[in-house]
Chains A and B, each alone.
Chain A
Amino acid sequence: MNLAIDVATLASINFLLGLGIVTVYKGTRILNFALPGVILATAYLTVTVASHAPLVVALAAGALAAAALGALTFYVGILPILGRPTYVGILTTVAIGFMLESIVTIIWKVEIRNLNLPSASFTLGDRLVSSDQAIMWMAALGAGILFGVVYRYTRVGLWLAATADENLLARQRGIPVMMVLLASFVIAALLGYVVALLLGARQGVTMALGSAALRGLVVALVGGLDSVLGAALAAVLLGGVEAWVVQTDPRLATVVPYMVLLAVLIWRPWGLLGTPEELERV
């Protein structure tokens, strides 16, 4: 039971982060390496505002900042380089992410801040479960179902696929390509923000949130970059392995997701449920 609860929580975090990455990838064929920086900045901002103003205001400010930073990543890092080779997009998002990280360090001085969300707890079996853990499970489940449904049954999924695969054709057919791209960055940032809040409430807001956010990239790749179901599967798998290893060697536990990633990339590079290699255009 204990293990199951730990796995559920880790898996939920993993999944929400992975979903952010998958969302951007589906629309742009770009991995958003700026996400760790965005998460750090919004988490620290929320804590700071919360110490001067009501919590609701802080949450709203944080969400607004997340959306703004997501949009900023797009406008500064992606829009100007559309049409250039993929590696340029990787590098611009990396640069934006580290700029944010640097700014956060200078402003907030790597301090640990507490984020007090209203919380309650209840027992599940013989284990005390806090409400933020439960919220995390719900958020992951809700987001998973929502995104799964949206991608499969609405035009948004088609738009994302069309934007990524046939950018020119998509524009000619009247798909608001720029809006789709922008929206996918904003949504990814907001998803990241939700995780930042929940993680921050549990273990305090620290610089470690940034490396936790890297986990999202790992989850997305292990699952298969274009698959929501794959992200879910990978989230559970990685959560399970991590919860299991942490009992014997806590230091190994922080590295084990990366070992899983390397193994998966060598054995099945497109991820557990990803599509094997989409063709480039000649």
Chain B
Amino acid sequence: MITGITEPSQPSLQVADVTVKFGGLLALDNVTVDVPTPYLVGLIGPNGAGKTTLINAITGVAKPSSGHVVIDGKDVTGKAPSQIAHMGVARTFQLPQAFGHFTVVETMMLGAHMMLKYPWFAGVLPFGWARREEARVLEKVEEVIDFLELERYRDKVVRTLPYGVQKLVDLGRALVPNPQVLLLDEPSTGLTREEKENMARFLLRLRYERHLAMLWIEHDLELITDLADRLVALCFGQVIAVGEPKEVMRTPEVVSAYVGAAS
């Protein structure tokens, strides 16, 4: 693996001793994770380990009862999800079809919302400020569409597209506003082998060309071990192993977590 060109600087995303409780249940228990730029950090763990909850805690959807989430050196704990998104955090969703009635371009323009600086009512006029901004941002959207090779689907309604393409559109939607930190919630789940490899190719290009800090939830252990710079294993809300992917996969805790979950 080529690592020489991209040595990590300071962590773009720091999760420090975060605890999240749902009722009496400890969904996350003192979880600490660092995602430096431009690292691809894999997040693994059996179902119910708290992986999505961790992403929810970072994006401000779940409120930590203790601990801190730090983006680029700024503490964002307790901020509203929309504010955290403005700090340069984007995420993809497990089920991307929620906004399926939009076309691909519209979906990406929705993702570009933060880049559009005109006041909403300027949209009333069929010319002027709003239209200029829309045109400017549309160029950026077209770049992302090109990058993800989605030209042929450009004007199709998202829910009519194959599942793998929907996942790519969701990734594009998250990429449009130029995030510093990208959180990927099972981007490859439900995809065919071919689609998975396609998705992995894009994610690697993002890591090496765009220098994003990425946290990637993945169930395909083989895939994530090959691609990630670092692995974090969660089990019952606790971090059970961190480090070099191959080593993490060998730790007794991780092995028993997966075997235990399987039995």
Say if the beta carbon of B61 comes within 8 Å of chain A.
yes
Which residues 89-127 of B sit at the A interface, judged by CB distance below 8 A?
A: 93-94
Tell whether A107 is near chain B: CB-to-CB under 8 Å. Answer: no
A120 to chain B, nearest CB (A): 50
- Chain B residues within an 8 Å CB radius of A279: 61-62
Does B52 count as interface, using CB distance less than 8 angstroms? yes
> CA separation between A279 and B61, bound complex, in Å?
9
Say yes or no: is B56 at the interface (Cβ < 8 Å to chain A).
yes
Q: Which residues of A contact B62 (CB under 8 A)?
A: 279
Size category of the A interface is under 10
- What is the bound-complex CA distance between A279 and B94, given in angstroms? 17
Contacting residues of chain B (21-37) with chain A, CB-CB under 8 angstroms: none
Q: Which residues of A contact B56 (CB under 8 A)?
A: 282
A-B interface pairs (CB < 8 A), number = 8
Count residues of B near A (Cβ-Cβ below 8 Å): 7
* Complex Cα–Cα for A282 and B61 (A): 9
Question: Which parts of A256-282 form the interface with B (CB within 8 Å)?
Answer: 279, 282
CB distance from A36 to the nearest CB of B (A): 32
**Chain A residues whose C-beta falls within 8 Å of the C-beta of B93 in the assembled complex:** 282
Contacts of B61 in A (CB 8 A): 279, 282
- Residues of chain A within 8 A of B52, CB atoms compared: 282
**From residue A167, how far is it (CB to closest CB) to chain B in Å?**
14
> In whole angstroms, what is the CA distance A282 to B52 when docked?
9
Rounded to whole angstroms, the CA-CA distance of A279 and B60 in the bound complex is: 12
Return A158 CB to nearest CB of chain B, in Å.
13
CA distance A282 to B98 in the complex (A): 10
Residue of A nearest to B56 (CB): A282
Within 8 A of A (CB), among B48-68: 52, 56, 61-62
Bound complex: CA of A101 vs CA of B185, how far in Å? 48
Nearest A residue (CB) for B52: A282
* CB-CB nearest in chain A for B93: A282
Q: How far is the CA of A5 from the CA of B13 in the complex (A)?
A: 64
B92: shortest Cβ distance to chain A, in Å?
Answer: 11
Instruction: Kindly state the separation between the CA atoms of A10 and B238 in the bound complex, as whole angstroms.
Output: 54
By a CB distance below 8 angstroms, the chain A residues around B94 are: 282
Taking the closest CB of chain A, its distance from the CB of B91, in whole angstroms, is 9
For B81, the closest partner residue in chain A by CB is A282
Q: How far is the CA of A279 from the CA of B52 in the complex (A)?
A: 14
Q: How far is the CB of A88 from chain B (nearest CB, A)?
A: 13
Expressed in whole angstroms, the minimum distance between the Cβ of A59 and any Cβ of chain B is: 43
Q: How far is the CB of A152 from chain B (nearest CB, A)?
A: 16
A26 to B77, CA, bound (A): 32
**Chain A residue, CB-CB nearest to B61:** A282
Nearest Cβ on chain B to A279's Cβ, whole angstroms? 7
Alpha-carbon distance A282/B60, docked complex (angstroms):
12
Residue of A nearest to B62 (CB): A279
Residues 199-214 (chain B) with a chain A CB within 8 angstroms: none
Contact flags (1/0) for A236-247 with B, using CB distance below 8 Å?
A: 000000000000
Residues of chain B within 8 A of A282, CB atoms compared: 52, 56, 61, 93-94, 185
A279–B56 Cα gap in the complex (Å)? Answer: 11
Among residues 61 to 95 in chain B, which have CB atoms less than 8 Å away from a CB atom of chain A? 61-62, 93-94
Cα separation A123 to B185 with both chains bound (whole Å): 68
How far, in Å, is B178 (CB) from chain A's closest CB? 22
Supply 5 further A-B pairs (C-beta < 8 A) apart from A279-B61, A282-B52, A282-B94: A279-B62, A282-B56, A282-B61, A282-B93, A282-B185
Rank and list the top 8 A-B pairs by shortest CB-CB distance, nearest first.
A282-B61, A282-B93, A282-B56, A282-B52, A279-B61, A282-B94, A279-B62, A282-B185
Would you mind naming 8 contact pairs between A and B with Cβ atoms under 8 Å apart? A279-B61, A279-B62, A282-B52, A282-B56, A282-B61, A282-B93, A282-B94, A282-B185
- B-contacting residues of A (Cβ < 8 Å)? 279, 282
